[in-house]
Structure 1
Amino acid sequence: MKARGTTKSATAFRTISEVSSDLDVPQHVLRFWEGKFPQLRPLKRGGGRRYYRPEDVDLLRQIQNLLYGEGYTIKGVQRLLKDGKVDDDPDARRVEETPEEPDVPDNFEAVPDEAAMALLDGEEGAPVVALDGLSDTIRQAIAQVLDELKEARLLLAVGEEKEIREV
């Protein structure tokens, strides 16, 4: 048994409780990540006891940073890992994510509020949206969504005009 205050070598295997403590992530989250990220393959001994290799711990640290630090979704991190875009360079991980389709009930009716419409139109007096403190990734995503909304609005307007002409 190791004495308190001593540390393992960098090449030593770690238990789930050690990794959980080092990363400040609950053990159940580490087990959940194992199910979501097949690249994580800790050794399992008798009784299902897990032993994480140093490369497993590094990968867990990267997953933690992408999810909690960079704001990626589980699917986004899965895509990055699948595409081999996870490495030590944080700028290399900044790729555009395809957003998931939201679940919209069949009876949902979108009713835009006036402030949102003013923002889309770029009108004077439109609400000012504070983007300070947001990462470049989030800013880019917001700008992309705003452009898509403007484009959708134009398509709807053209469709309404065409419909009116046909009547």
Structure 2
Amino acid sequence: MAKAPDAFRTISEAAEDVGVPQHVLRFWETKFAFVTPLKRAGGRRFYRPQDLAVLRGLKRLLHDEGMTIRGVQKLHRTRGIKAVAGGDVPELEVEGADVSMREPAASAAPNLSILRVALARVEAARMRMERALSA
């Protein structure tokens, strides 16, 4: 008999549902303060349906879209938990240039758009350094 849609899930059930190993869920708890399953006696984790929605969004952002951990943290700070759960990948504006919080996949060959993003990041960092040094 299957569980009801609103039933709590164990870490093994959550990991299977999201499509990642259990240790990844535990790691995400250390990196994202908003990943907070209920913990019962003995430290057993139980995930609510809204927790699973957030975990699915995290997986999409980190694994499918190639966002960085810092990028997801910033997304949460700026747009909230709904943006993370929805798996929304925003474009950021950095000194007039649109820069994604995505990182290129390790296996992907660099292309012009990735190089432009990297250049925009370097230029933004240079400008921040110049402002800090001149202050």
* TM-score bucket (shorter structure): 0.5 to 0.7
Give the TM-score normalised by structure 2: 0.67
Higher Cα radius of gyration: 1
Distance apart, 1:145 and its partner CA: 3.0
Q: Kindly report structure 1 stretches of 4+ aligned residues shifted beyond 6 Å.
A: none
Query: 5+ residue gaps in structure 2?
Result: 93-99, 103-108, 124-135
One-letter code aligned to 1:20:
A
Distance apart, 1:15 and its partner CA: 0.3
Could you say which residue in structure 1 is the equivalent of 2:91?
Answer: 95
> 1:147–1:66: structure 2 CA closer, same or farther, 3 Å change rule?
closer
More strand by share: 2
Could you say which residue in structure 2 is the equivalent of 1:143?
Answer: 116
Question: Which of 24, 29, 37 does residue 24 from structure 2 map onto?
Answer: 29
Of structures 1 and 2, the one with the larger relative CO (CA 8 A, separation 6+) is 2
Instruction: Give yes or no for contact 2:55–2:85 (8 Å, CA) kept in 1.
Output: no
Give the TM-score normalised by structure 1: 0.55
Query: 5+ residue gaps in structure 1?
Result: 1-5, 100-128, 132-138, 152-167
1:51 aligns to what SS in structure 2? strand
Residue identity (%): 44
* Count of aligned pairs between the two proteins: 109
Distance apart, 1:98 and its partner CA: 6.5
**Root-mean-square deviation (CA), in Å?**
3.0
